[in-house]
Amino acid sequence: MKTYNVGIIGATGMVGQRFALLLADHPWFNVTALAASARSAGKTYLEAVGPRWAMSDPIPENLEGMTVLDAAADIDKICSAVDFVFCAVDMKKPDILALEEAYAKHDCPVVSNNSANRFTPDVPMIIPELNPEHIDIIPAQRKRLGTKRGFIAVKSNCSLQSYVPALFPLDSEFGVDKCLVCTYQAISGAGKTFERWPEILDNVIPYIGGEEEKSEREPLKIWGKIAGDKIELADSPKFTAQCLRVPVSDGHMAAVFVSFKKKPTKEQILEIWKNFSGVPQKLSLPHAPKQFLNYFEADDMPQTKLNRNLEGGMAVSIGRLREDTQYDYKFVCLSHNTLRGAAGGGVLLAELLCAKGYMD
Ligand code: NAP
């Protein structure tokens, strides 16, 4: 496989740090540019991150001394040093839209973790095992942007990376009708650690701005279909969500209640989960988990601390599937929010785009 030079925009942040670690020994990708805000620009990566480094592994040695560039002011320099960029920045939505489009228009593809472009009709929002065919919208997007190579592809929100993968493969046979979900979300999802957010210890916060809307609406784009030059949202399944912040470092848990158009047996659901695999597994992409959906029989599993790192944090853990009195079934599921839910999901999406020739 060919190798690609890549940049990390937002390299100093929580997700950017994950990208730095995941890309350090990636078989296809070499990090040749790091960028963040003007506050970090001109410093070495080590200086710019400083005490904000929140990963348990140290900063990759080859990145420590690399000079951090200004994501906006140094765009020409960055684009000339890379084949594409990963983007995870904490900025206002209009500024993110402008930044990502500027990179795309410099003919530099953008694999984004940000929410700003998730509902741009010709921007694919992809969970690579579920809707890889949505990358076929990219030629239409390039036409709109007037680019040869440049485009934007995004991954979906971290909250839904456990329950949407569990439900999606059940839909074609049984028709997922409606779903009620409560999420229990880690503090790294807010870019925080316990040191920086002591108020979260011994506490639960029943509000995460914008999260419930994303958790209810984004699945409809994953379920959507390409129609001409846009992706049309599906109008079902219907989702309702409550999202809570809990005192956990990493890993988003979800408690799910679901009804189907045609109720499956428990055995049928378990069989589909066990046998499910997608294009990333078929192509043996470097970050594809071998077994994407993993069911645990024990009543007290999965647990955030024990299971979040399953298959490098790229697999989904499921448990407690049982019939419900008001919905057909209920179960719990878990995924690592900064790995599968953020940087890892971004890296897997980039691997898919490379394998399909979109980064050439
Ligand atoms: P974070 O830890 O607050 O990091 C923010 C990053 O954005 C830093 O690198 C920061 O650089 C950079 N930045 C801020 N203002 C900028 C500007 N004007 N120009 C260029 N760079 C700028 O945030 P995060 O948790 O990594 O989240 C980043 C993005 O990923 C957000 O859109 C978030 O919604 C999304 N996301 C996060 C998670 C998660 O689990 N954390 C999951 C999915 C998606 P400086 O250090 O120079 O300020």
Closest CA to 342 of 8, 5, 68, 91: 8
Q: What is the pLDDT of residues 317-349, one digit of tens each?
A: 999 999 999 999 999 999 999 999 999 999 999
How far is it, in rounded angstroms, from Cα 39 to Cα 60?
Answer: 22
pLDDT at position 294 is: 98
Q: Among this protein's residues, is 158 annotated catalytic?
A: yes
Taking CA atoms only, the protein residue closest to ligand 1 atom 1 is 13
Distance of CA 147 to the CA centre of its chain: 25
Q: What is the pLDDT of residues 244-288, one digit of tens each?
A: 999 999 999 999 999 999 999 999 999 999 999 999 999 999 999
Longest dimension (CA), the chain: 60
Q: Choose one of 63, 74, 89 to mutate for the ligand 1 pocket test, by most ligand atoms within 8 angstroms of C-beta.
A: 89
> Each residue of 254-273: b (16+ CB within 10 Å) or e?
bbbbbbbeeebeeeebbebb
Q: Could you give all domains of the chain from N- to C-terminal order, each with its CATH number?
A: 4-157+342-355 (3.40.50.720), 160-336 (3.30.360.10)
Helix spans in the chain (H): 14-24, 45-49, 61-64, 75-81, 93-105, 138-145, 163-174, 211-222, 266-275, 279-282, 304-307, 310-313, 344-355
pLDDT at position 133 is: 98
Q: What is the pLDDT of residues 194-220, one digit of tens each?
A: 999 999 999 999 999 999 999 999 999
pTM: 0.97
Q: Ligand 1 centroid to 207 CA: how many Å?
A: 20
pLDDT at position 243 is: 98
Q: Among this protein's residues, is 252 annotated catalytic?
A: yes
Any idea what DSSP says for residue 127?
-
Q: Choose one of 90, 308, 339 to mutate for the ligand 1 pocket test, by most ligand atoms within 8 angstroms of C-beta.
A: 90
Q: Bridge partners of 256?
A: 181, 331
Atom of ligand 1 nearest to the CA of 71: 20
pLDDT over threshold 90, residue 1: no
For the segment 3-30, the average pLDDT, to the nearest whole number, is 96
For the segment 71-89, the average pLDDT, to the nearest whole number, is 98
Q: What is the pLDDT of residues 99-138, one digit of tens each?
A: 999 999 999 999 999 999 999 999 999 999 999 999 999 9
Token representation of residue 160: 């839904």
Q: What is the pLDDT of residues 148-185, one digit of tens each?
A: 999 999 999 999 999 999 999 999 999 999 999 999 99
Contact criterion met (CB below 8 Å) for 315 and 291:
yes
Percent of the residues in the chain that have a pLDDT greater than 90, as a whole number? 99
Percent of the residues in the chain that have a pLDDT greater than 70, as a whole number? 100
